[in-house]
């Protein structure tokens, strides 16, 4: 009997270990295998070692340099706005503060194609502001010429990443003891000296983590660059797409992908260590916000609120307005046209069909991402720092890897049995799962780490099996994190653009791909349909965001 129980116990242990290896197998098959195929195409295109591609990559040093400095400039501008905003949110109490902080995250969960379309609706050549200026002041041409400029790219990058930096800074700052600042004031430190000597050193881990994450997102930006920037402002991401799709120069595209992946992995290793440091530094002390006193403090609060409203919500409102504005006046015509597949349309199916496609792919993505994400959280939650030090950035790497690179890797790797998936719709949710899984991990892992070991030990002492411990102890305590992660996965899948552009079939397009194709065609009708489809996609993401904010509690989830 004892031997039988021992055998069952050993089988259960090995079963759990095998289950935890499933995410590694998934990552190996659908992430590292395509990357290995990219390596093979880059350095052995004819089956033998050929390093000539390295010489060809030197022609793209200007592209690499532009990618780096535009990302660095975007990061600096984002933090320049996020830091004073975080200060106001941490120190002052004012009406609508929590609502405004929550709504700021909406910009981050929106798909890049929707964000780009929203700014075209606001400040594009045919945007609301230009149309008003032309009709009111009689300009011969739109006076605000921001499309195809670096300025609009930087503005949209700040819009998109502002919430990321703000969340990291406020969550860290609110949990720092104010006693150090109080002591510094007593010793005569005020103004810039207080910032330089006390606040900035205290915030250094959060500032570095926010800077690195924003840099990663802007370095791998694709939809914003390709829609608003044009060929003059090609980043590595755009160049990979052009070399693979337009020029079909697979070795060069592969070489650029490998260069980007290597750089992103190094950054992700640093970021995960910084993220753990910010989590360790959090204390059980909450900054006590107070009402603003005096005209300077009140003016600073008003200025920050106005800045956030103008930056974060004006483009979205402009998108809705432009989707309803036709040559005949206010109308739902553009929405009605989404159900029609015109003979001369660039699409193979009515645009409205893409909504069903996106929802179906998103539901499959949720099932895959939650399953893999929860198992990954358990794997990273093991008390083996030597393993987690490298596994953590490894599982985060798909988030930092170019979605275009993922799509490119799929089309060159998954074209032979037993993984002949190039023409299969299954490839779309697989690609989306790779992008969404890190968000699930970051939503579940903090809740999992907070489960006290003695709770599980007590349950085992009372005779609970491993499955019963998981079912009745772990699941209730991590359920909020799972719901948040699942909602993130759904939202990300609905809006994923870079990989989808590679792997979607013409007859089963997703909503972002339809928006991109419509924007690429001339005519007011195509632009209006793109605006209408963007509003629908924005609505879906907004609903998902509301679910995240209602379920999420303080400390549940982390970037």
C-alpha 419/C-alpha 535 separation (Å) is 37
Gyration radius of the chain's alpha carbons? 25
pLDDT at 82: 93
Greatest alpha-carbon pair distance for the chain in Å reads 93
pLDDT at 429: 92
**Collapsed DSSP state (helix, strand, coil) of residue 444:** helix
pLDDT at 371: 93
- Answer whether residue 220 shows pLDDT above 90: no
pLDDT in tens, 127-164: 899 888 888 887 878 888 888 889 999 999 999 899 88
Confidence of residue 557 (pLDDT cuts 50, 70, 90): very low
Confidence of residue 368 (pLDDT cuts 50, 70, 90): very high
pLDDT in tens, 33-58: 888 887 787 777 776 777 777 777 77
Task: Give, for 312, the enclosing helix (H) or strand (E).
Answer: helix 294-324
40-58: buried (b, 16+ CB within 10 Å) or exposed (e) per residue? ebbbeeeeeeeeebeeebe
Of 229, 228, 258, the residue nearest 243 (C-alpha): 258
Confidence of residue 497 (pLDDT cuts 50, 70, 90): confident
Higher pLDDT, 165 or 3: 165
Q: What is the mean pLDDT of residues 239-252?
A: 79
- Answer whether residue 11 shows pLDDT above 60: no
pLDDT at 435: 87
Q: How far is CA 368 from CA 353, 426, 486, 498, in A?
A: 23, 11, 10, 19
Of 314, 330, 338, 311, the residue nearest 127 (C-alpha): 314
pLDDT at 317: 92
Query: 200-219 and 250-281 are packed helices; what angle lies between their axes, rounded to 10 degrees?
Result: 160
Do 81 and 307 meet the contact criterion of CB atoms below 8 Å apart? yes
Helix-then-strand count for the chain, H and E:
28, 2
- Answer whether residue 478 shows pLDDT above 70: yes
Q: Which of 56-65, 320-329, 363-372 has the highest mean pLDDT?
A: 363-372
Residues whose CB is less than 8 angstroms from the CB of residue 434 and which lie 6 or more positions away in sequence, other chains included = 27, 30, 31, 398, 406, 499
Do 538 and 425 meet the contact criterion of CB atoms below 8 Å apart? no
Domains of the chain: 16-52+80-320+335-551 (1.10.3720.10)
Sign of CA dihedral 480, 485, 489, 491: positive
Higher pLDDT, 380 or 188: 380
**Collapsed DSSP state (helix, strand, coil) of residue 470:** helix
Alpha helices (H) in 145-249, listed in sequence order: 150-173, 179-186, 191-194, 200-219, 223-224, 236-241
Q: What is the mean pLDDT of residues 215-243?
A: 83
pTM: 0.80
Of 309, 315, 307, the residue nearest 124 (C-alpha): 315
C-alpha 100/C-alpha 311 separation (Å) is 12
pLDDT at 277: 63
Partners of 317 in the β-ladder: none
Q: Residue 20 is encoded by which pair of tokens?
A: 């935890």
Query: Omega before 550 cis (within 30°)?
Result: no
pLDDT at 366: 93
Within a 10 A sphere around the Cβ of 387, how many other Cβ atoms? 12
Q: What is the mean pLDDT of residues 237-242?
A: 83
Partners of 329 in the β-ladder: 326
Q: What is the mean pLDDT of residues 75-98?
A: 90
- Answer whether residue 290 shows pLDDT above 80: no
The rounded mean pLDDT for the chain is 81
pLDDT at 155: 93
pLDDT at 215: 92
pLDDT at 516: 87
Residues whose CB is less than 8 angstroms from the CB of residue 445 and which lie 6 or more positions away in sequence, other chains included = 377, 380, 381, 481, 558
C-alpha 441/C-alpha 458 separation (Å) is 27
pLDDT in tens, 189-212: 666 667 666 777 888 888 988 898
The full DSSP string for 245-303 is: IIS--HHHHHHHHHHHHHHHHHHHHHHHHHHHHHHHH--S-----B---HHHHHHHHHH
Higher pLDDT, 238 or 20: 238
Partners of 92 in the β-ladder: 290
pLDDT at 37: 82
Backbone angles phi, psi at 494, to 5 degrees: -60, -35
Residues whose CB is less than 8 angstroms from the CB of residue 136 and which lie 6 or more positions away in sequence, other chains included = none
- Answer whether residue 69 shows pLDDT above 60: yes
pLDDT in tens, 392-439: 777 877 876 767 777 778 878 877 777 777 778 888 899 899 989 988
Higher pLDDT, 210 or 59: 210
157 HSE (CA, 13 A, CB side): 30
173 HSE (CA, 13 A, CB side): 27
C-alpha 106/C-alpha 545 separation (Å) is 6
């Amino acid at each position: 009997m004892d031997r039988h129980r021992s055998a069952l116990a050993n089988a259960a242990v090995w079963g759990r270990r095998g289950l935890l290896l499933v995410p590694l197998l998934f990552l190996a098959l659908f992430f590292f295998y395509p990357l290995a195929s990219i390596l093979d195409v880059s350095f052995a295109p004819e089956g033998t070692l050929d390093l000539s591609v390295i010489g060809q990559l030197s022609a793209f040093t200007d592209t690499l340099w532009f990618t780096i400095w535009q990302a660095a400039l975007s990061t600096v501008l984002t933090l320049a706005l996020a830091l004073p905003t975080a200060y106001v949110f941490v120190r002052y109490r004012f009406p609508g503060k929590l609502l405004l902080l929550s709504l700021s995250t909406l910009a981050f969960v929106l798909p890049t194609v929707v964000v780009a379309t929203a700014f075209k609706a606001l400040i594009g050549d045919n945007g609301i502001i230009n149309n008003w200026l032309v009709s009111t002041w009689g300009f011969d041409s739109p006076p605000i010429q921001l499309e195809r400029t670096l300025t609009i790219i930087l503005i949209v990058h700040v819009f998109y990443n502002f919430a990321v930096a703000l969340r990291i800074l406020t969550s860290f700052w609110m949990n720092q003891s104010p006693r150090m600042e109080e002591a510094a004031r007593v010793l005569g430190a005020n103004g810039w000296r207080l910032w330089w000597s006390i606040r900035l050193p205290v915030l250094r881990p959060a500032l570095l983590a926010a800077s690195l994450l924003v840099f990663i997102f802007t370095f791998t930006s694709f939809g914003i660059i390709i829609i608003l920037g044009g060929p003059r402002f090609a980043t590595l991401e755009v160049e990979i797409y052009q070399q693979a799709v337009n020029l079909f120069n697979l070795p060069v595209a592969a070489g650029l992908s490998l260069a980007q992946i290597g750089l992103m992995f190094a950054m992700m290793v640093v970021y995960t260590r910084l993220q753990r440091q910010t989590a360790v530094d959090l204390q059980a002390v909450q900054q006590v916000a107070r009402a603003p006193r005096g005209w300077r403090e009140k003016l600073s609060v008003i200025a920050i609120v106005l800045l956030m409203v103008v930056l974060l919500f004006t483009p979205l409102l402009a998108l809705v307005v432009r989707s309803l504005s036709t040559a005949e006046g206010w109308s739902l015509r553009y929405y009605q046209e989404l159900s029609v597949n015109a003979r001369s349309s660039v699409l193979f199916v009515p645009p409205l069909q893409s909504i069903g496609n996106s929802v179906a792919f998103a539901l499959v993505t949720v099932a895959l991402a939650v399953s893999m994400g929860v198992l990954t959280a358990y794997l990273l939650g093991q008390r083996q720092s030597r393993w987690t030090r490298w596994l953590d950035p490894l599982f985060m790497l798909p988030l930092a890897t170019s979605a275009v690179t993922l799509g490119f890797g799929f089309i060159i790797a998954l074209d032979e049995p037993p993984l002949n998936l190039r023409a299969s719709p299954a490839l779309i949710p697989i690609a989306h799962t790779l992008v969404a899984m890190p968000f699930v991990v970051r939503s579940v892992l903090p809740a999992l780490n907070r489960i006290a070991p003695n709770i599980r030990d007590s349950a085992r002492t009372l005779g609970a099996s491993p499955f019963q411990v998981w079912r009745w102890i772990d699941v209730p305590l991590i359920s909020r994190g799972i719901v948040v992660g699942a909602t993130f996965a759904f939202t990300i899948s609905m809006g994923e653009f870079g990989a989808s552009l590679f792997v979607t079939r013409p007859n089963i397009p997703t909503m972002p791909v339809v928006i991109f194709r419509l924007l690429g065609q001339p005519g007011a009708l195509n632009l209006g349909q793109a605006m209408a489809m963007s509003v629908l996609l924005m609505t879906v993401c907004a609903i998902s965001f509301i679910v995240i904010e209602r379920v999420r509690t303080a400390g549940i989830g982390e970037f």
